[in-house]
Structure 1
Amino acid sequence: MASDQRPAPLGLIILLMAMSAIGPVSLNILVPATPAMAVLFNTSLGTVQLTLSLYLFGLAISQLFLGPLSDRFGRKPVLVTGLCITAVASFGAMFSTSIGMLIAFRTLQALGASSGLVIGRAIIRDLYSRERAAAMIGLVTTVMVVAPMLSPTIGGAIDTHLGWEYTFALVGGAAALVTLWILVALPETRPDHVTGGGLRYILGESRELFASRRFLGYVLVCALGTSSYFALLGAAPHIVVSLMARTSAEFGLWFMLTAGSFMVGNFITTRTVQRYGIDRMIGVGLAFQMAGAIATIAAVGLFPDAGPWTVFVPQIAMSVGNGIFLPNCVAGAVSVRPQAAGTASGITGFLQMATGAAAAQVMGYLVATATTAMPLAIVMAVVSAAATGAFFVFLRRRI
């Protein structure tokens, strides 16, 4: 049973951070190399963009099944299987000789990498109640985001000095090490009364979850709100490297500002959610995001040739907002039916990543013919407004 009084074991929290970081690191570390890969494989930017969007799609699909499987078979065995798949696929991608081969291994890599994300959230809900779970998810994400924050910088440096292939060697080695750590140190947290996992169970629990206005609200805000971040991932490398003629390493440095701001939002959540509640915190996060989206349109419109700051400085507010509302949305979604925390986490992750994949791929095509960052600014404003609308329709009355 979840308890607010039970102290969080430090070793468990660090392990949750490590296994949850595998997916975001694998996603972000290749981003700075995408313009160069288009040249290397003699293909279009849109085709190379599939290494990002199909990775996100793989994260989405696998979460839909990994969550219920962890309800049925336990958190630990599903985690181990998923991360083993990621390690093998990463080393396969390292030796890819065509863009098609790389995309295939990249998609397989994502199928396992999502296990740490979706099951980590379920483990936290196994151990803690609603508001405490939001604080713990925020805590895990705060430290976990250090790795995704640094990974574009590391990926840019590896691409510049060694080649993009070695980014996969790093990810594969990390996945293998975390798998061994799980085998040695992770206790099984799934409650004994949770025994779902079959198709009938998945359909039944999904039906109950989607019948809940609260669940719909949390999932929609999560998916729509975070798609602004994925739109940035899909567009910013081309904008900074191709349109603004900056290096992939410089892009990685600018991206650190975005990730650091996200950490600030996570920290705010861990310090305040148990006092103000998750629904109010979601509203605060969306206010930050809308302010940043409007500022992006203004900066790009007024200073179209001023450089990366027009995109990344307004991202400070947007990323703080993401860091506030995301852990609260996840905690709310997995608390609607605690007996199906894995299923709820899987559905939430699926919709978040599927929406993100669509946003990233669309942005890859929109910016390919753009001369400024305005298409990105407009898309981020639209999805932020949609997330805010979902909040007022489904969740506002609970504050």
Structure 2
Amino acid sequence: MFMMFAMTSDSVGEIIKEVKVAFSVTNAQASLMHSLPMLGIALSGLFLGFLADKLGRKPTIIIGLALFGLACYSFLIANDFMLIVSLMSLSGVAVGIFKTGALALIGDISSSTKQHTATMNGAEAFFGVGAIIGPLIVAYLIHQGVAWQWLYVIAGGVCTVLIIGALLVKYPDYSRHTESGEKKVSIAQSLKLVKNPYALGFSIGAFLYVAAESAIYVWMPSYLVCDATTLKATYDCYTEGFSQTLAIYSVTAFFILRAAGRFVGIWMMSHFNWSLVLMLFTGAIVLCFGLGLWGGKQLALFLFPLTGIFMSVIYPTFNSKGISCFPKHQHGSVAGVILFFTAAGAAAGPFIMGLVSDANGGDAKYGFMVATGFAALLFVGLVYNYVKNPTKERLAEIEASEYAN
């Protein structure tokens, strides 16, 4: 499921290049293809995340997958900009439903908070694989003269297989009953979690991280082209053959490094202090962004994709530790809250960067300055998290109460 979602969402940078030419839209308008689906995920996570706790993990996942498949197959008739954006938005709502069910399911199959973090990194590693496959499929389709919309039809086929699998697989037993009776599960209860300091803290961290990360796969292709004023991307300013190839496949290189880092993260988060790792890696991201802007395209060509290594473990760990601060009967709801802030960051970040770039002659460099600011704020927060360690007692309490058996 994570891989299928990434195939579509993380291909948007490559798709935007085509749509800007086909429909003559501005950077800000084109960014709606990323921002509105993320808004759909955000609202779905916040207002429908409770379904995983109320209906159970399996029904929620199947409902979300069915809606996603419907949106994907509808791309067969999508040849209008507004219809394309609408279908992308609908797919975002669907993702919010099945992803909260999947995130809650990870808690059900984990035996400790540490294993939860390792498993989350494993799931997100497959997201990383999908992020590699998606842009490659788009590039291949375009090279063969086939419409990029067929990427969504392919994703719809994968979704159909997943629905069949979800119907056949036996899920862990899940009950909303405890010794004190049935836990109330509702939208109101989910909204109350927003005020919880643990949910809010990790959610803000997810917002800042995703806002910075999205700059890579949304605007890096536009930043690295030699002449942004032409209708066709050119890479003549990179003198060496390797540099030109890297510029063309820079997003793929980023996603390969991010996926590899997440598989390594399964081991890393089982052996090292997670707060120290996040602080050091975020500092490295700020350094790569800053030096990439200072040194221009020739240096950014190498430093921007390199951030994939450092970004690899940040979001899965935020997600895992945030969810692990709560009992299992709330995992769907808190996953929805974190997903809301995640998608809000993915929606707001690229849109703000697009506006700032348009205000400065359309140069994506100015958008990356905004992204560097987001990363710097996140670094400051993670320094505080490492020094103060505010979740230590809470995680120990949940470990004893939820995973002791």
TM-score bracket relative to the smaller structure = 0.7 to 0.9
What is the SS of the residue equivalent to 2:185?
Answer: coil
- Per-residue deviation, residues 227-270 of structure 1 (Å, max 9, x unmatched): 21112233123223563624999766211221122123323431
What is the SS of the residue equivalent to 1:273?
Answer: helix
2:304 aligned with 1:319: no
What is the SS of the residue equivalent to 2:147?
Answer: coil
Match of 2:265 in 1: 269
Structure-2 separation of matches of 1:250 and 1:178:
34
Match of 1:295 in 2: 288
What is the SS of the residue equivalent to 1:164?
Answer: coil
Structure with the largest fraction of helix: 1
2:133 aligned with 1:150: yes
Q: 2:117 aligns with which of 128, 131, 134?
A: 134
Letter in 1 for 2:187: L
What is the SS of the residue equivalent to 2:322?
Answer: helix
Letter in 2 for 1:145: G
On the 8 A contact 2:216/2:304 being kept in 1, the answer is: no
Q: C-alpha root-mean-square deviation of aligned residues, in Å?
A: 2.6
Structure-1 separation of matches of 2:28 and 2:76:
21
2:65 aligned with 1:83: yes
- Per-residue deviation, residues 91-146 of structure 1 (Å, max 9, x unmatched): 22331232111111110111112334322221111221211100011112223311
On the 8 A contact 1:123/1:189 being kept in 2, the answer is: no
State the Cα distance separating 1:289 from its structure 2 match: 2.9
Match of 1:391 in 2: 382
Letter in 2 for 1:119: G
Match of 2:322 in 1: 333
Structure-2 separation of matches of 1:358 and 1:226:
10
2:29 aligned with 1:47: yes
State the Cα distance separating 1:84 from its structure 2 match: 0.9
Letter in 2 for 1:367: S
For residues 96-115 of structure 1, the aligned pairs below 5 Å read 96-115=78-97
Structure-2 separation of matches of 1:270 and 1:305:
33
Q: 1:198 aligns with which of 180, 183, 186?
A: 186
Letter in 2 for 1:345: A
Q: 2:209 aligns with which of 205, 225, 249?
A: 225
2:369 aligned with 1:378: yes
Change (3 A) 1:58 1:331: same
Change (3 A) 1:239 1:62: same
Structure-1 separation of matches of 2:35 and 2:83:
15
State the Cα distance separating 1:180 from its structure 2 match: 1.4
What is the SS of the residue equivalent to 2:66?
Answer: helix
What is the SS of the residue equivalent to 1:131?
Answer: helix
On the 8 A contact 1:258/1:312 being kept in 2, the answer is: no
State the Cα distance separating 1:159 from its structure 2 match: 2.7
State the Cα distance separating 1:151 from its structure 2 match: 1.0
State the Cα distance separating 1:156 from its structure 2 match: 1.8
Structure-2 separation of matches of 1:316 and 1:127:
33
Letter in 2 for 1:233: Y
State the Cα distance separating 1:395 from its structure 2 match: 5.5
- Per-residue deviation, residues 155-199 of structure 1 (Å, max 9, x unmatched): 122133201221221122221221111111241553443754323
| Long gaps (5+) in structure 2 | 237-243, 393-405
Change (3 A) 1:317 1:44: closer
On the 8 A contact 2:353/2:368 being kept in 1, the answer is: no
State the Cα distance separating 1:211 from its structure 2 match: 2.9
Structure-2 separation of matches of 1:251 and 1:69:
43
State the Cα distance separating 1:36 from its structure 2 match: 2.1
Change (3 A) 1:394 1:231: same
On the 8 A contact 1:32/1:252 being kept in 2, the answer is: no
- Per-residue deviation, residues 56-93 of structure 1 (Å, max 9, x unmatched): 11111111233211100001111111111111111223
For residues 116-265 of structure 1, the aligned pairs below 5 Å read 116-128=98-110, 129-161=112-144, 162-193=146-177, 195-204=183-192, 206=193, 210-212=195-197, 214-241=198-225, 243=228, 245-246=234-235, 253-265=249-261
Identity %: 17
Q: Which moved more, 1:246-255 or 1:50-59?
A: 246-255
On the 8 A contact 1:131/1:274 being kept in 2, the answer is: yes
On the 8 A contact 1:23/1:114 being kept in 2, the answer is: no
Match of 1:6 in 2: none
On the 8 A contact 1:282/1:329 being kept in 2, the answer is: no
On the 8 A contact 1:135/1:270 being kept in 2, the answer is: yes
Alignment length (residue pairs): 370
On the 8 A contact 1:289/1:321 being kept in 2, the answer is: yes
What is the SS of the residue equivalent to 2:171?
Answer: coil
What is the SS of the residue equivalent to 2:49?
Answer: helix
State the Cα distance separating 1:305 from its structure 2 match: 4.8
2:339 aligned with 1:349: yes
TM-score by length of 2: 0.83
Q: Which moved more, 1:351-360 or 1:141-150?
A: 141-150
State the Cα distance separating 1:362 from its structure 2 match: 1.6
Change (3 A) 1:251 1:158: farther
On the 8 A contact 1:286/1:322 being kept in 2, the answer is: no
